[in-house]
Structure 1
Amino acid sequence: MRATGAMTAGMAQRPGIALATVTAVLFVTFLDTTVVSVTLGDIQSDLHAGVVSLQWVVNAYTLVFASLMLTAGSLGDRWGRKRVMIAGLAVFAAGSVVSALATGVTMLIVGRAVMGVGAAASEPGTLSVIRHIFPERRERARALGAWAAVSGLALALGPVIGGVLVGAYGWRSVFWFNLAVGVVVLVAALRYVPESADPQPGPVDIAGFISGTVFLASVIYAGISGEEVGYGAVSVVTLFVIGGIALAVFIVAETRARNPMFDFHYLKRPMVRSALIVAFAVYFGIFSIFFFTALYLQEVSGYSGWRTAAVFAPMAVAIIVGALFAGFWVALRGSRTPMITGCVLGAAGILLTRQVLGVTPEFVPLTLSLTLAGLGFGVAVVPLTSAVLSGVPPEHSGMAAAATNTMRQVGAVVGVAALGSLVNSFLNADLVSRLNQLGIPANFQSIVIDAIKTGQVPAGGDSSASAAYGPIVDQVITATYAAFHRGLEVALLVSAIMILLAAVVTAVSARGDRSGYEYET
């Protein structure tokens, strides 16, 4: 029998258990967007991976996650959200095994991509189930507060859990941890998550599926690979052209389709449109914190996995507090003001982090600035999610959830790619200038830059290099770290500006808190 949009009576009486289970699904899929951030130093040393390869270890997951989420959300509406979720969790577990057993960086990237497929299938259903369990806006806002708290907890605990596991058992333990949690969550979802689907599903939007996936995958892939070969390279330009054509086809297909994978009509609503922009900008900023700051602390400041975890732990608490508070705030006042406030706080935290970072950043000021950023992120996530779900009818909640999370993941991928390009540009151009000032011969400069790209420059505080190669190594390492620091400063500034611009767009275009609540009981 086909599942309908309504819950069975038995399941409706246990909304708390169902909520706990879908937030656990969310936790395991979101955790993996940041848990590898503190493993990068060990992976770099063990597999001799360069900066670009390390970015692919992060981006392989988020690229596939973002590219397939719209499709998976639409399929969940048609075939059953629980069914698609369970299949996704099984694929996620398989990818974790591949990653844990990786003998080289290529195998690790493939494993991460498989995990991304599983995450794309399982994650959109979490919001769809909440939309059906809690049809009334105020109850749903509070449930979304819990959902956002868990999503923020997963993002912020990623570096913490990763740091503890790496410090105790090595980087491979992170993926065995993913497998264990994924299996437990899969079993819980089989038992406690109610099935639901569109009661009148149409045919699968094949044209939208193909064109949408090609658009997202080609543009994101081009953005990432452009860092390595240059954005003027024929291959990168070709990918951007393919993406542009695919986008045009997608728009035409969706406006003509009887049952589109994504209905552009909903973008006419100011709050829905603003919320999607905020989703992109906030996650663009979050990953500038998680990826580049964690890498900087370990590679430049010589932080261990344990100490990096300690720096990010208060941020995790702040995200939870902000999200839970925002759930009640949205229930009382709507989405607009909390969304703007969260953006402003998050941007302020990023700017403060930029100020306190140095070759030897002080622990307490850095922790406080990250905590402020986390508070802002937590406050922003709930209203943006509520606005999109409330602006779309319940039978299309899978599409709404997928659209929101696609913008989040695209923001994360674009953030790592674009900001990584900035950091790499300073590691090349600025470093060459500094090496020239030191009088380093040109032939030795190329050796230094190659060593940086393959992860052979010692981490901060490593005295063995000086003993082995002499004082010149100290000068080269200092110049390298200064160039990295300059690139990081620019990257954090760009992140803060992006989030503030999203706040301005929301303030100007979505002038009423009720502008996103057309489909409410």
Structure 2
Amino acid sequence: MTLVLFLTFLDTTIVAVALASVQSLLHAGVAQLQWVVGGYALVFAALMLIFGKLGDRFGRRRILVGGMAVFVAGSLISALAINPTMLIIGRGVMGLGAAASEPGTLSMLRQLFPDESQRAKALGVWAAIAGLAIAVGPVFGGVLVGIGEFRAIFWFNVAAGAAVTVLAAKMLPESLDVNPSGLDMKGAITGAVSLALIVVAIIQGESQGYASAFVISLFVVGIASGAAFVLVELNASDPLINLRYLRTPRFAVSLTTAFTVYFTVIAVFFFTALYLQLVEGYSGYRIALIFLPMTLGMVFASLFAGGWVARTGPRVPMTLGAMAGGAGVLLADIALGGNIHVLMLTLSLTLAGLGFGITVVPVTSVALSVIPSRHSGMAAATTNTARALGVIVSVSVLGSLLNGELTNSLARRLELLGVPANFRDIVISAVETGSMPTGGSSGISQIEKAYGPLVLKVINAAYEAFHNGLTIALMVAGLLMLVSALVTAIGFRRENGISMINQD
């Protein structure tokens, strides 16, 4: 089960450092790169809760193993992708497989550990493994990209996924509910439709304009579906998500924090890695080294945070962790300005990693502590959904801000340089599809020698526009973490510890 959990969560962040490779080899645009990352998380978030219900009804091992087989098939499609569309489809299939397999790891814990205290420890290990997978993804991905470009990541998934599928089929016991609850298909459909349409609208708005009739209609239908989802869940006898639990401040704060942490983590991994590779010319190996201290900080802090929370309660660790995470991201943006200050960047990312690690550990434990034990699976699954939503919103919203700044700022700069309008479109298209020469000091000098000073100015304008977009993304993410710290401090202001109200 831990291998299934590790592999499905690993793929949330492992692809972030492969985006420059995808853009270079498949000539993917920024919007397509958003779908490469966000498509996986979108399908994962939209279908995870309903697959948990299907596992209860038809057999948890059966659904888990079937999901892993689908995950492997999606990885194979991605590894063989010849264009961005094929890669996005493969990532969506992987998300479908992850959505089917991951909920079984939670449901089986309740069966394998019927004792409440043992189950609580097992859930703590479960949360730690999920956090570890998120943390090591960019480092491991950087190494794989250095070995064999982006395809190496998916060939690894094929091999690892096939092995895990066989092990799960042989070693995990089958279990299902004798009297399973209803499937709440209305909630599953309205929730998935709402999420999908809003994300599509955000990303399509980059190219078609947010005032276009098509994009507006997507937003309208998506919001209406979201309202329908709320009504369905409030009136369902056995809802996918019991929205009434959101009235409990600690549960609401834990979900908000989960969303914010993963929103910010993806902002750092996605946009910083892309900038370092495309503009600064960093290799996959060098990206891995840049992110290694941050990863180690997340792992170390997560190991330390459990005892801290047990002694003092969640308020202080989660507040200070969110503050450290936000400060680290804002300092990283400063380090990326002008000539990169590698030491400052490394220290800033390490601070952010420590903050993320401290913050993410209490999220699941707090959510589980305030929800009756019979609904522990729903509480943990809801927390996972909040994490996945953080990934989706980060990629779609911040990606749209980056893309908008990239194209608008670059267009203005090219106009000031006197570049004719028809050539401006060519340059912007080249930037969006990764056709511009790679940056770095050696790359810049070669460009100037080969093409002359005007072309060099054009390329530098593109790089500066990209950096402006990166700054906006990191500023939004860092400030959101600081706001999360304030929300946590207020939401837990009357709490000195984690009060257990698990009652059947």
Please give the range of the TM-score, normalised by the shorter of the 2 chains.
Answer: over 0.9
**Partner of 2:344: helix, strand, or coil?**
helix
1:519 corresponding residue in structure 2: 502
CA distance in 2, matches of 1:134, 1:344: 36
For residues 41-69 of structure 1, the C-alpha deviation after alignment (integer angstroms, 9 at most, x for no partner) is 12212111111111111111111111112
1:227-306 superposed matches below 5 A? 227-306=206-285
Q: What's the CA shift for 1:99? A: 0.6
Q: 2:152 is matched with which residue?
A: 173
Equivalent in the alignment of 1:393: 372
1:488 pairs with 470, 475, 488, which one? 470
Residue 379 of structure 1 and its aligned partner are, at CA, apart by 1.3
Task: Call closer, same or farther: CA 1:399–1:327 in 2, change over 3 Å.
Answer: same
Match of 2:452 in 1: 470
After superposing the two structures, state which structure 1 stretch, 457-466 or 419-428, moved more.
457-466
In the alignment, what sits opposite 1:338? 317
Q: Which amino acid aligns with 1:114?
A: V
Please give the alpha-carbon distance, in whole angstroms, between the structure 1 residues aligned to 2:220 and 2:486: 31
Show CA shifts across 1:323-382 (max 9, x none).
Answer: 111222333443333222221121111111111113431322211211111111111111
Cα deviation code 1:195-216 (max 9, x no counterpart): 5555643222121121122122
Q: Per-residue deviation at 1:434?
A: 2.1
Amino acid at match of 2:500: Y
Identical aligned residues as a percent: 53
1:498 alignment partner in structure 2: 480
Mean CA deviation greater in 340-349 or 225-234: 225-234
Amino acid at match of 1:393: P
User: Which residue identity lines up with residue 481 of structure 2 in the other structure?
Assistant: I
3-state DSSP of counterpart to 2:12: coil
Range that drifts further, 130-139 or 210-219: 130-139
User: How far did 1:298 drift?
Assistant: 0.4
The structure-2 alpha-carbon separation of the partners of 1:373 and 1:194, relative to structure 1 and needing over 3 Å to count, comes to farther
Is contact 1:94–1:115 with CA below 8 Å preserved after alignment? yes
Letter in 1 for 2:417: L
- What's the secondary structure of 2:437's corresponding residue? coil
Cα offsets for 1:453-508 (capped at 9, x unmatched): 22111110325433332221211111111111122112111101212222222221
Q: Which runs of 5+ in 1 are unaligned?
A: 1-21
Q: Which residue of 2 is the match for residue 56 of structure 1?
A: 35
1:392-471 counterparts in 2 under 5 A?
A: 392-461=371-440, 462=443, 463-471=445-453
Matched, 1:507 2:489: yes
SS in 2 for 1:458: coil
Which is worse superposed, 452-461 or 511-520?
511-520
Identify the residue that residue 46 of structure 1 maps to in structure 2.
25
Query: What is the rounded CA distance, in whole Å, between the counterparts of 1:209 and 1:167 in structure 2?
Result: 40
> 1:302·1:460 contact (CA, 8 Å) conserved in 2?
yes
SS for the counterpart of 2:337 is coil
**Residues 335-374 of structure 1: pairs in structure 2 closer than 5 A:** 335-374=314-353
CA contact (8 A) 2:32 2:84 kept: yes
Once the two structures are TM-superposed, the CA of residue 117 in structure 1 deviates from its matched residue by: 0.5
Contact kept? 1:136, 1:520, Cα under 8 Å: no
Question: Offset of 1:131 from its aligned partner?
Answer: 5.3
Q: Could you tell me which residue of structure 2 aligns to residue 3 of structure 1?
A: none
Aligned equivalents of 1:397, 1:446: Cα separation in 2: 53
- Aligned with 1:123: secondary structure? helix
| Residues in 2 aligned to 1:207 and 1:266: alpha-carbon distance in whole angstroms | 20
Structure 2 matches for 1:22-41, cutoff 5 A? 22-41=1-20
> How far 1:305 sits from its partner (Å)?
0.8
* Alignment partner of 2:302 out of 317, 323, 327: 323
**CA shift at 1:262, angstroms?**
1.6
Determine the C-alpha separation between the residues in 2 that align with 1:520 and 1:459: 59
Count of aligned positions: 500
Give the alignment partner of residue 150 of structure 1, picking from 120, 129, 150: 129
Aligned residue for 1:519, secondary structure, equals coil
Alpha-carbon offset, residue 229 of structure 1: 1.9
Alignment deviations for residues 365-415 of structure 1 (CA, whole Å, 9 cap, x no partner): 211211111111111111111122233334433322221111111111111
Contact 2:369–2:498 (Cα < 8 Å) also in 1 = no
Q: Which deviates more from structure 2 when the two are superposed, residues 492-501 or residues 76-85?
A: 76-85
| Structure 1 position 479 matched with structure 2 position 458 | no
Change (3 A) 1:460 1:95: same
The aligned residue for residue 84 of structure 1 is 63
Of the three residues 179, 190, 194, the one matched with 1:215 is 194
Is the alpha carbon distance of 1:137 and 1:384 closer, same or farther for their aligned partners in structure 2, counting shifts above 3 Å? farther
Consecutive aligned runs of 4 or more in structure 1 exceeding 6 Å deviation: 135-138
Shift of 1:78: 4.1
Unaligned runs of 5+ in 2: none
504-513 or 63-72: bigger deviation: 504-513
CA RMSD of aligned residues (A): 2.3
Superposed displacement of residue 309, structure 1: 0.7
1:405-462 residue CA offsets vs partner (Å, 9 max, x unmatched): 1111111111111111221122122222222333333332222112112211111032
Question: Contact 1:297–1:303 at 8 Å: present in 2 too?
Answer: yes
Distance in 1 (alpha carbons) for counterparts of 2:439 and 2:22:
17
| Residue among 125, 142, 157 paired with 1:163 | 142
1:381 corresponds to 2:360: yes
CA distance in 1 between partners of 2:393 and 2:50 (Å)? 20
Is the alpha carbon distance of 1:453 and 1:361 closer, same or farther for their aligned partners in structure 2, counting shifts above 3 Å? same
Structure 2 residue identity aligned to 1:469: Y
* More displaced 10-residue stretch of structure 1: 285-294 or 334-343: 334-343
Structure-1-length-normalised TM-score: 0.90
Q: CA contact under 8 A between 1:62 and 1:409: conserved in structure 2? A: yes
CA offset digits 1:209-249 (Å, max 9, x no partner):
21122122222222222223222222222122112221222
- SS of the residue corresponding to residue 260 of structure 1 reads coil
Q: Residue type of the partner of 2:279?
A: V
Partner SS, residue 33 of structure 1: helix
1:107-146 superposed Cα distances (whole Å, 9 cap, x missing partner): 1110000000011122233344445656777766654554
Per the alignment, residue 113 of structure 1 pairs with: 92
> What are the Cα deviations for residues 20-53 of structure 1, in whole angstroms up to 9, with x where unaligned?
xx33222111111111122211221211111111
Contact (CA 8 Å) 1:53, 1:105: kept in 2 or not?
yes
- Confirm or deny: 8 A CA contact 1:345 1:375 kept in the other structure: yes
